[in-house]
A and B are shown apart, each in its own frame.
Chain A
Amino acid sequence: MKKYKWLVPTLYIIFLMLPIYWLINMSFKTTTEIINTYSLWPQKFTLENYVKIFTDSTWYMGYVNSITYTVFNTVISVAAALPAAYAFSRYKFLGDKHLFFWLLTNRMAPPAVFALPFFQFYSSVNLFDTHIAVALSHCLFNIPLAVWILEGFMSAVPKELDETAYVDGYSFGRFFFKIFVPTIAAGIGITMFFCFMFSWVELLLAKTLTATEAKPIAATMTRTASTSGYELGLLAAAGTLTIIPGAIVIYFVKDYIAKGFAMGRV
């Protein structure tokens, strides 16, 4: 039995790769070929779909928009979560436990519940259709997540580190940025990865809060699919391109992922 153990993960990976392969396969076909023939690989290999995406600004700006608000969100979430996580890991204060659970409840809130009020709220403060509106709205679930992961990493650092630094005459600011932040660098990397991931894959809020200027690529896809019939080839190419940023990010953090999950905090 032990000999065939590798079969399970292998079959699972094949199952995972099949739909992805099918998407990539279609992205190299023309739409007419997709609709008229069933084939396991492109009969007439074409790059036409990708050329269209990289030359049409409504398409490629979608990518720029998505990446812009995702990066904004990651920076805001981690910057705000760092001091808060430090407070939760080091100090007891009035209402700390309730505050922590309240933060987590926001990770549990269904975005569908918030879609309409967000639309009205961000419109009323004139932020509708800006990158920053999407970045701020994604803070709803990313900040609690960031606090949760960072708190796990910070609690693993012994408190003696802080105390020694103060004895050595470090001010709090210098200690925090010169000693503490480098110590938990791996944790910050993992936190950034998860913030990036959840902001990148979310669509409901991003779509609700944008019209043209900050429209995410994923929303561009749904619109094009419904107005000009099903341009399947184009849709497949756009979909394939959305996989790439995630794949790049995951390559960089692969050594840390297992460690991050081991903290039991995701």
Chain B
Amino acid sequence: MNKTINQKAWYFVIPVFVLVAFNAAIPLMTVVNYSFQETFGNNVFAWEGTRWFKQILLSERFHAALGRQFAFTFIILLIQIPLGIAIALTMPKKGWGVPVCLILMSMPLLIPWNVVGAMWNIFALPDIGFLGYTLNSVGFDYNFTQQPGDAWFTTILMDVWHWTSLVVLLSYAGLNSIQPAYYQAAEIDGASRWATFRYIELPKMKKVLTLAILLRFMDSFMIYTEPFVLTGGGPGNTTAFLSIDLVKMALGQFDLGPAAAMSLIYFFIVLLVCWVFYNLMMKNEAQS
């Protein structure tokens, strides 16, 4: 759409600008403030320069948490995106099955995150949970509160349970926007199922899939509540992702300086990856 230049449009944006600035700029400045200072309690501060940043960037604890975070995000993207596409492709296109699928599949998205964690906790308990009990009775030695491997497996399964539906809904919407004529043309050309997917469906889903990857990247990178309730970051520190580690440092040990420096580094990484994605997405939108 060709837009008219109108500087007065700023008046329309002011409420949003004020509300978000009030919520984002002021707290963010507080964080920046802390990140350069040492606190002694009673509001006494001393300038520390870039010491906290160096400390965080060189600390093994941060490297380990960052490594776990990237591993987790990478694994869940690798599972959720293909799985989501596969489910969207097999979903009914019309009839009573559509609302049933949409409603049931959206359910996990609307459950408070700590309830998701608590639900999976009792679902996976080895003695009284369905998942834990079943796995143990078929011969696996499964206990997610004791064994790091099991804790990872459970956390990933929980995230797949929680968020795959988002990818499904996005892909489904993308598929629905394809005109029937494309499929007819493919049929006339005698295209295989794979060729239809590769050359018709996948390109048409590009936009929604970029969005799905962006959203899943962002949200899994910020994940806090669900693993916190499920495993508490344990056993040991094996499932302590970035947010969990950060909150432990900031609110648990009250190390404000290092925590603030870590927050900024953390935010910067998310921002960087999202900026790349955002540009990709806008390029797609400009093309279509």
A-side residues, CB < 8 A to B, are 5-9, 12-13, 15-20, 22-23, 26, 34-35, 37-38, 40, 76, 79-81, 83-84, 86-94, 96, 99, 101, 103-118, 120-121, 136-137, 139-140, 143-144, 147, 155, 158-159, 197, 200-204, 217-218, 221-222, 225, 232, 235-236, 239, 242-243, 245-247, 249-251, 254-255, 257-262, 264-266
Contacts and interface: CB of A to CB of B under 8 A. Distances in A.
Contacts of A236: 122
Contact of A94 (B10, B15, B119, B247): B10
Given A12-B164, A93-B8, 15 more contacts: A5-B90, A19-B161, A83-B16, A87-B12, A92-B5, A93-B5, A109-B24, A111-B224, A112-B224, A112-B250, A115-B247, A118-B27, A140-B23, A140-B24, A218-B113
Nearest to A26: B122
Interface residues of B, number: 97
Contacts of B5: 91-93
Contacts of B211: 264-266
Contact of B107 (A8, A158, A221, A243): A243
Contact of A18 (B130, B267, B275): B130
Interface string B238-275: 00001100110011000010010001101100110011
Given A155-B1, A203-B112, A249-B110, A112 B222 contact: yes
Contacts of B243: 110-112
B263 A201 contact: no
Interface string B2-43: 011111111011011101101110111011000000000000
B115 A13 contact: no
22 contacts: A18-B123, A34-B128, A40-B130, A76-B19, A83-B15, A91-B4, A108-B218, A110-B222, A113-B263, A116-B250, A118-B27, A121-B27, A143-B20, A147-B16, A203-B225, A225-B118, A242-B112, A247-B107, A247-B110, A251-B103, A264-B170, A264-B173
A89 B1 contact: yes
Contacts, number: 287
B102 A258 contact: yes
B92 to A, nearest CB: 7
Contacts of B114: 203, 218, 221-222
B109 interface: yes
Interface in B95-148: 97-99, 101-115, 118-120, 122-123, 127-131, 133
A63 to B, nearest CB: 11
Contacts of B81: none
B72 interface: no
